[in-house]
Chain A
Amino acid sequence: MISLLLATLTQSLTLIPLALGINLSYTLLRATDMTIDGSFVLGAGVFAQLVTMGISPIIAFLVALSCGAVAGAFTAFLQNGGKVDPLLAGILTSFILYSVNMAIMGRPNINLLSTPTLFSGAFAHSTTLGWFSVALVVGLLVVAFYTLLQSRLGLCLRAFGDNPALLSRQGYNVTYLRVTGFSLNNLLAAASGAITAQIIGYADIGMGVGMTLIGIGAIVLGQHIILPFIKKHYLRAGSELLAGFIGIALYFFILNGLLRFNINPIYLKLLLGILLALFLRTATRKASFS
């Protein structure tokens, strides 16, 4: 059981920034941003390519984050100009990102096993220290993100998701807010991608497939477990954050748990899907009463 929890914890840790990003797009901005599938790979790919070229991992990490932000800005830009639906804009961007990622990486798979990364030093010392350093980087991102959510910008982003037309009539620059929101969200996805690449030892062109879905599933799951307990609305940002953590952890708990049943893996995704559907169903039933 302890090994199961440990496996859950380490796996969730790398995807926490992604969960934050999806929390931002799905809960605050109220948009299903499929760009994440692409920007996750973009973050991993840019980071892998840069460190392979011998650039310092810290700089590579920061550049990877910025690239994610640019991808998000592009999705926002698509929505601004042609009034493309956010879902469609995201799919379009991640479609384009496929080629961009290939161009940046130059090959479909970049190996990081013998390349110094942000965490390689710590992992060489001991696994515990390694995971501690990962937790540190993720923690920094979480704190930065939480501070942002609590600021006026966070309020504006939430208002944008609630009612962009009213926000615009109140004199706010909606375009700016949309770009900021989508950039941040994809920056976090790219961060998750870059961290994941360092943990699993490579960046791969196909590693982002389904990430948005896992993220949204986890967020919704987490929220419906935790939000009923939160009565005070000023605790909202914090509880949403917590919901993201819990959701992601639960997803991996279930995944790792199912593996332990020695279930034929052909049915694993079916079971995982049914479990998620069960949770989501209870979630929607709750929502229809409130």
Chain B
Amino acid sequence: MTPLLQFEHITLKHPSLERPILDDINYTVQKGDCVVVLGANGSGKSSLLKLLDGRYRTNDGKVLLKDKNILSLSSRTRAHCIHTLTQSAQDNLFLDLTIFENYQLIQKRNKADAIDSLADYLQAFNVKLAAKLDVLVARLSGGEQQALALALAVLYPPEILLLDEHTSALDPKTAEHLMALTARIIHERHITALLTTHNVSHALTYGDRILALKEGCVHDCIERNDKENLTAEMLMARCY
């Protein structure tokens, strides 16, 4: 079976930096995997995700999505296959549009039929959202915004969901809640996810596999079977 996603000798450089941001990364993601990418700030986690959604282009090597170079995909196809959530609400949602309008934009892009009741659908993510369909997203709380972003991201499930520290701007309780919700949704719907976080216990609990980056290189790979025997402290020691 061909893997869903392959990173082959990925190198990413920035003209103003001496050290490459990513240096010869090789990694394979199978369909249904939930891969947690760990690493210190500046280790290249986010850059790796940005290669996927078209914000960055590799200098060397290639990213293959179902054996196709990701650069050869049209932006529309890529948007269809890959969806990103970040910690900042303005990367995920149109703040000056209402919840319903945000939904309409997603629906139109997917050329899909409208769902029966957006309110019912949102109920499962955050009970408060259901009553606020006509409210500007900017007026929602941070937790509501991220829950909405997640709900819209998985409305028409993408091939790959990229979660770039999507809980890190929230308070611990809300973050915990959202993380659990995210994990449940992606397992229920068999969504392949790449997730970056600084929370090692999240990584252990929710990740199927763990990829640790250090200074742009692959530092450690932890597979499904190895994970069982690890504690958060051990993971911390291995990855940072």
Mark A residues whose CB is within 8 Å of B: 152, 155-156, 158-159, 161-163, 165-173, 232-234
Contacts and interface: CB of A to CB of B under 8 A. Distances in A.
B71 interface: no
Contacts of A168: 75
Contacts of B90: 163, 166
A152 B108 contact: yes
A233 B106 contact: no
Given A158-B97, A166-B93, A233-B136, 15 more contacts: A152-B104, A155-B97, A155-B101, A155-B104, A158-B101, A159-B101, A161-B96, A162-B97, A166-B94, A167-B105, A168-B75, A169-B55, A171-B79, A173-B76, A232-B134
A170 B152 CA distance: 11
B54 A233 contact: no
A115 B105 CA distance: 48
Given A170-B105, A170-B109, A171-B80, A162 B134 contact: no
B94 A162 contact: yes
A159 B84 contact: no
B134 A233 contact: yes
B98 A233 contact: yes
B150 to A, nearest CB: 15
Given A152-B108, A171-B79, A162 B95 contact: yes
Interface of B: 53-55, 75-80, 84, 90-98, 101, 104-106, 108-109, 134-136
A159 B55 CA distance: 19
A166 B91 CA distance: 6
Contacts of B101: 155, 158-159
A171 B76 contact: yes
A290 B225 CA distance: 52
A128 B109 CA distance: 48
Nearest to B101: A155
B79 A163 contact: no
Nearest to A156: B105
B78 A159 contact: no
Contacts of B97: 155, 158-159, 162
Contact of A166 (B76, B77, B92, B135): B92
A169 B94 contact: no
Contacts of A163: 90, 94-95
Query: Of residues A159, A163, A170, which shows the largest number of chain B Cβ atoms within 10 Å of its Cβ?
Result: A170
B68 to A, nearest CB: 16
A59 to B, nearest CB: 35
